[in-house]
Amino acid sequence: MGSNTAEHGKIKQHTVVIVGGGAAGISVAASLHKRDSSLDIAIIEPAQKHHYQPGWTMVGGGVFKPETTSKPMTSVMPGFASWYRQSVSSIDEEHNQVALADGSTVQYQALILAPGLELNWGGIDGLREALGSNGVTSNYQEGMASYTWETVQNLKNGRALFSQPPMPIKCAGAPQKALYLSADHWLRTGVLHNIDIQFHNAGAVLFGVPDYVPALQSYIEKYGVGLNYQSTLVSVNGPSRKATFRHTDANGNTEDREIGFDMLHAVPPQRAPGFIRQSRLANEGGWLDLEDDTLRHKRHSNIFGLGDVSGTGNAKTAAAVRKQAPVVAENVIAHLRNQPLTAAYLGYGSCPLTVENGRIVLAEFGYGGVLQPTFPAWVNDGTKATRAAWFLKAKQLPALYWYVMLKGHEWLAKPARRSV
């Protein structure tokens, strides 16, 4: 294992430094190494566990076992990379160096930022304290999906609320997936008619790409879900089982409404990590300011980024990372060799919307909502709920994640080309 524990006050040097050992960081490291095995690569990642986060929704629906969604970080961290088990305190982009929490410094020729995003639990008053009891849950919280499934199984009547915060969030379909899988269980066990299901969405539409809305709307109707748009969860009182939503009307006027619940699946607002958000590397929204196609920073030619931290207009999903990693790898190497950047990312993202146990609407789209289906319609029509998409999500994607994507095997991920 290429572990490298930095000493306090010391300065270490590497050709490429990657911040983040999640899906994006590990994938891009593997893609770089595949292209040039002589590269001196370092990865900065403090976590002890690596999570397959797309699996958490399936745990919450009783499909996956929790233990299948994580592995020790030591088992996925590539041996060719120097691993700094530290968090980042700041980035000095003028001097090409990263300051770590232990006081040491790592210098780079090229920097790749892939630290993911931050779940802002404090953005909803009382939510953090309420999680894990009184029917308050969130599949976004590590280890909490099991409580989601337990709560769903125990609920025989009453009101179930599902919330979605303002965009951007990672896996924009996940708040709905929790709803659909829960409702499907209640339908199969004969209690759906006893449960008032409400979906409170801070946005104004069911899904941002219109082509997929008819299929999703049919399931909303099948399960009898009450839709509440421009309705944002602002506070939770767990013991009294009450949630407050701020509703905004067409004229921009707001009204707070308190609603009682027996189950609440809450999704927190999300933001870039502080060392990005509060730096000169961020755009106006606080996200990493990258070129849409090259994924290079708009103002620093030797800084690149990918994954959930990016300020690009794609869906924040693991599927996006699968397409981004080869683009960043090619362009970083081109930069190091003083060559033009020719690899392009077209905004691909995928949301496998689990509308019932056994069927998925496989939403695949790029910038501007342009459909980018992986397979022809005769194999899988992404605008409809299909069993083929369920088979892909439930049976194939976990193994493809652990043993293909994280190993640098670029399955259906060839970069587009840009003219230079």
Torsion angles phi and psi, residue 393, rounded to 5: -70, -45
Q: Which of 23, 98, 306, 351 is catalytic?
A: 351
First to last CA, the chain: 39
Q: 418 Cβ partners below 8 Å, 6+ apart?
A: 293, 294, 341, 342, 343, 344
Grouping H, G, I as helix, E, B as strand and the rest as coil, residue 162 is strand
Q: What tokens does 68 get?
A: 């299948």
**DSSP-derived 3-state class of residue 395:** helix
Catalytic site includes residue 245: no
Distance (Å) of CA 201 to CA 83, 99, 143, 272: 40, 39, 24, 21
> Taking a C-beta distance cutoff of 8 angstroms, is the pair 78, 103 a contact?
no
CA dihedral 143, 167, 255, 239 (to 10 degrees): 0
Q: How many residues does the chain have?
A: 420
Q: Which residue has the tokens 């207009």?
A: 313
Identified catalytic residue from 171, 195, 385, 394: 171
Choose among 399, 328, 297, 314: nearest CA to 27.
328
Phi, psi torsion values for 279, nearest 5 degrees: -110, 175
Q: Is 171 a catalytic residue?
A: yes
In the sheet that holds 349-356, the strands lie side by side as 349-356, 359-365, 385-386
Radius of gyration of the chain from its Cα atoms, rounded to whole angstroms: 22
Q: Which residues are known to be catalytic? A: 171, 351
